[in-house]
Structure 1
C-alpha cells in the first residue's frame, strides 16, 4: 500500500494528515460543496435537549469546551461544520439561531446536517444567504464522533471521505528519536513521520483529543512518548545505537507492555532518546540523568505530552524523575511482561513512567497494572516510615527543612511514625559489605557484564560476521552474582517487612533518589568536575536506587520542592527540583500508589502538579 500524507498550515499552526485510508466515508444523494481538494471540517455530535429544540445556549458551551480541551481544533476548521445526533434513534430540530451563531461567531460557510436533524425556521422561506446548508444520511459516524478532520470528495461528488488531523509540535529540546503515527491498518502498525521544521527539529504528531471523547477506556486520548528500547510494530528500535538499529531492523511485533497501554486507550506519538538531551530545567544545560533521560526531559518540557514511558534497571527512571521534578517509578520486578524490549539485566529490568501529576500517576499505573498477578492487595497504609539519616547532618538547611516539613506533614495527617535509621552505623538494618551480600559496585559490574555477554556479544558477533572482525568473550560468574543478589534482596525486604493488612509493614523513605552529592548534574563532565554539589560525598554507600533494584521492591519518586543553585553556565541563580522516594515490599505497588495519591490530595499541599519549563513549581 502507498502511504501518503499531507502537511499544511492553518491559523499559523502546522498539521499533517495521512490520507491512505479514510476514517469515515459519507454517502449522499446530492453533490456537496466539497471538492477533490482537502477541506477542513469539524464534526460535532449534538444531543436532544429537554426543551426539544437545539439552540445557541446548547451549542456555544459545547464548542467552547471543545476548543478548551483540544489543542488540535482551531477556528479554521469551522468553515465547514457537520452536526449529527449523539443518539441516532432521536430526531429533533436545530433552531435557526444556532446557525446564526455558527455563521457570525465561528465564521461558518457550510453546514452539513445529519438527516435526523431539521432546521426550525421561524417562517416558511426563511433563508441564511451566507450559509450553505446540506443534508446527509446517517452513515459511518458513530454516535459521538467529534473533532477536526479533512474532507475530500470522491470522483462524482456524492461520497465524502473524512481523514484524521494531527497537530505538529516542534521538538526543540531534542528529546525524541522520531515522531510516529498509527497506520490504522487493523494490525497495530506504526510509521515514522520523518518531518522536521526549518531549524531541523523533529516534528511530533499529536491526534485530536476529541477523537476519543466517547471512549470508556481509562487512558483514552492520553498522549505518550516511549523510550526507544520498546519494540513497536513498523518502527525501528535504536536503543541509542546505530549498530543495534542495523541489526534489529524494523519491529514486526509490539512489546506486550505497550499493547497493554494501547488497549487502555493511550496514543503513542513518538520514540524518545536513550542518550542525554538538554533538560528544560534551570539553565537549560543540565542532564536529565540516566538512559531514560529522553522520556524524562520530554515530560518536563512539553505540555502536550500526558506521560512518557522509560525503563529502570538501576535507577534509569527514578534518577531522571528526581532530577527533572517529575513523578516516576520502578515497579515490583515482574509486575509487567518484559517481552519486546531491549533488556539490560533481566533480574532487575522494569518498565516505569513519568508524569507531572500525582493523580495522573495513579490513573496510568492503575490501568497498566490492572491485570497483574504480582500486585498484592492491602486494607490500609503501613504505620512506619523508615528514613536513613546518615547524610542528614551534611544537608544544606534549605534542603533539610523541606524534607523535615514533608515528613512531619505525613506523620500528622496520615498518622504514620517516622523512624530514623543510620545504615552506616552499627544497626540491625546496616548493609554488610561481606558475608555473601551484593555491594553497589558488584551490582554495577554485573549490569555491564550482563549487557556485554547477553546483548553486546550477540550484536558484536553479528557485526563481526558482517565485517570480518573478532571480538573477545566475556568472563563473569553470573551464578555467584545471582546468589549475592538473592541474599541481599532477602536482607532488604526483611527490613521493610511483609504485612497481610498493609501489604508492606513499613515504607522506606529516601530523600535523595538521585544522590545529592551528584547534583546539579551538567551534560558536560568537565563542568561536573568543578561544580559544587548540594552535599559532600555521601556517607551512606547504599545509594537509593540500589536496594530497590537488587531486591525487586517497588520505588516511587515524587517531587517535594525546589532549591536554588549558582549555575556555571548562566552565571545566575537557578532553581533545581528536590525529590523524595518511597520503597515498599515487593508486590505492594497498589499500596504505594494509594499512599502517593493521598499525599496529593492533602490540603497541606505535600505533593503538587509540576510545570513544564525552567521551573518545576
Structure 2
C-alpha cells in the first residue's frame, strides 16, 4: 500500500550535497571471460564467469538504463526491519572506513535485503540514497514498501530460499528477467616485483583458481587481485578475509607450479589439486591472492644469483638491498604492502628466517 511519507520526500532533496562519482569504464576481457574495468584511477577485475548470485525479477526498466558490460552496485544485507538513513549512513561509512576495495563509485545502484519478515524502507533512507544520485534501487520482494516514485528506478527481485548475498561492492548485469551480481577485485600494482602472478578463486564450486595474467600497457608490473574485505565480515572463521600470498613451491588447483624454474613449469601440468597445508588456510577463510617468487627449487641462492626471474626488491633502505634466500618474495611482499596480510613459505635452511631478518618482518 502507498506510504504517506513518500508524498513530501523529494522536496527535501534540494539541500542534499552533490555527489560526483567516477564513471565506470570497461577496459577489456580476460582470457577466461572475466573483465577488467576502471573507476577513476583504480583498476578492478569482475568475475563474470561464475557470478555470486542471480536474482529473478521484472527488470525490464532497469535493464534499459545500463549497458551489456554491467554497472557498479552496492549490496547491503541487514537484519533490521526498518531501513533508515542512520542505518544506511553508518553502514556505508563502515564500508568506506574499513575496506580498501569499496568506494562511493559503487553507489551507482544499490541492492537492499533484510532477514526480517517484512522490512520497510522509510523516507529518510530514500532521501539519503537519492542524495548520492543513485539511479537504481533493487529491493528484496520481502520489502513491504511499494509505490515509490521519483527520479529513480525501483526493482523488486526474489532471492532463493536460504540465500544470503554478502554485503559489499559488485558489478551487476541486468537483463529483463534477472540481475546478476559479480564479485569484484581491486588490482594492486606489484611495483616491487615480488609476485610471479596474481590469482583468485574462480567461484566455480570446485575450488579452482584462476591466474590473472593482466599487464596493462601503462604498468609494467604484475596486477594482484584482492577482494573486498566486506565480503567476509559475516564469516566467523579465524582467517576470514585475510589475504595470503603463496610461495610457488605449493600446488593450488588451477595454477601452474614452477618451483622457481621455467624449465620445470614447461614439463609439469597445471595443478589439479591444492596442497593440504594451503587448503587448510583456505578452509579457515584465508583468501589466496597470488604466487610469489622464489629461488630455483627453493635453494638458498641469493636473489641476485637467480636466473629465471628478476629478483624481488626489498622495500627497506634504498630499495636495492637483498631479500635473501628462497622465500624472498614472501618476506619482501609482507614488508612492502599493507594490503597483504600473510605470505606462506618454507624453511629448511633459513629460507624464511633470512628474508624476514633483512626485511624487518616476522617469519
Class of the TM-score when normalised by the shorter of the 2 chains: 0.7 to 0.9
Does the CA-based 8 Å contact 2:140-2:158 persist in structure 1? yes
Partner of 1:327: 362
1:141 Cα deviation from its structure 2 partner = 7.9
1:118 Cα deviation from its structure 2 partner = 3.3
3-state SS, counterpart of residue 322 of structure 1: helix
Matching of residue 19 in structure 1 with residue 48 in structure 2 = yes
Matching of residue 301 in structure 1 with residue 328 in structure 2 = no
Equivalent-residue separation in structure 2 for 1:318 and 1:224 (angstroms): 18
Larger radius of gyration: 1
Change (3 A) 1:141 1:103: farther
Equivalent-residue separation in structure 1 for 2:164 and 2:203 (angstroms): 20
Compare the two structures and name the one with the higher helix fraction: 1
Does the CA-based 8 Å contact 2:313-2:319 persist in structure 1? yes
Q: How do residues 428-439 of structure 1 correspond to structure 2 at under 5 angstroms?
A: none
Equivalent-residue separation in structure 1 for 2:92 and 2:185 (angstroms): 19
Task: Find the partner of 1:194 among 200, 213, 217.
Answer: 213
1:54 Cα deviation from its structure 2 partner = 2.4
Does the CA-based 8 Å contact 1:227-1:309 persist in structure 2? yes
Q: How do residues 420-435 of structure 1 correspond to structure 2 at under 5 angstroms?
A: none
Partner of 1:152: 173
Partner of 1:98: 125
Partner of 1:547: none
Equivalent-residue separation in structure 2 for 1:30 and 1:151 (angstroms): 12
Deviations 1:224-257 (A, max 9, x none): 0001101111111111111111222311111100
Deviations 1:116-166 (A, max 9, x none): 22339xxxx774x22222222233783362111111134xx1122111111
Partner of 1:108: 134
Change (3 A) 1:265 1:32: farther
Equivalent-residue separation in structure 1 for 2:285 and 2:272 (angstroms): 21
Matching of residue 9 in structure 1 with residue 41 in structure 2 = no
Matching of residue 55 in structure 1 with residue 95 in structure 2 = no
Does the CA-based 8 Å contact 2:243-2:287 persist in structure 1? yes
Matching of residue 137 in structure 1 with residue 158 in structure 2 = yes
Matching of residue 260 in structure 1 with residue 286 in structure 2 = no
Equivalent-residue separation in structure 1 for 2:53 and 2:148 (angstroms): 32
Equivalent-residue separation in structure 2 for 1:233 and 1:168 (angstroms): 21
Equivalent-residue separation in structure 2 for 1:177 and 1:74 (angstroms): 28
Partner of 2:62: 33
Equivalent-residue separation in structure 1 for 2:111 and 2:342 (angstroms): 32
Task: Find the partner of 2:200 among 181, 193, 207.
Answer: 181
Change (3 A) 1:209 1:244: same
Equivalent-residue separation in structure 2 for 1:24 and 1:141 (angstroms): 13
1:304 Cα deviation from its structure 2 partner = 1.0
Matching of residue 46 in structure 1 with residue 66 in structure 2 = no
Change (3 A) 1:172 1:94: same
Does the CA-based 8 Å contact 1:292-1:316 persist in structure 2? yes
Equivalent-residue separation in structure 1 for 2:136 and 2:161 (angstroms): 20
3-state SS, counterpart of residue 312 of structure 1: coil
State the Cα RMSD in Å: 1.9
Partner of 2:28: none
Does the CA-based 8 Å contact 2:59-2:179 persist in structure 1? no
Partner of 2:10: none
1:31 Cα deviation from its structure 2 partner = 2.4
Equivalent-residue separation in structure 2 for 1:144 and 1:160 (angstroms): 13
Q: Which moved more, 1:130-139 or 1:90-99?
A: 130-139
Partner of 1:318: 353
Matching of residue 289 in structure 1 with residue 324 in structure 2 = yes
Partner of 2:14: none
Equivalent-residue separation in structure 2 for 1:141 and 1:77 (angstroms): 26
Equivalent-residue separation in structure 2 for 1:4 and 1:126 (angstroms): 37
3-state SS, counterpart of residue 33 of structure 1: helix
Does the CA-based 8 Å contact 1:176-1:202 persist in structure 2? yes
Matching of residue 240 in structure 1 with residue 272 in structure 2 = no
3-state SS, counterpart of residue 169 of structure 1: strand
Change (3 A) 1:23 1:143: closer
1:68 Cα deviation from its structure 2 partner = 1.4
Q: Which moved more, 1:267-276 or 1:134-143?
A: 134-143
The answer to which structure, 1 or 2, has the higher relative contact order (CA under 8 A, 6+ apart) is 2
| Number of residue pairs the alignment of both structures matches | 314
Does the CA-based 8 Å contact 1:226-1:272 persist in structure 2? yes
Partner of 1:169: 188
Equivalent-residue separation in structure 1 for 2:42 and 2:161 (angstroms): 29
Gaps of at least 5 residues in structure 2 are 1-30, 296-302, 304-311
Does the CA-based 8 Å contact 2:95-2:230 persist in structure 1? yes
Please report the TM-score for the alignment, with normalisation by the length of structure 1: 0.49
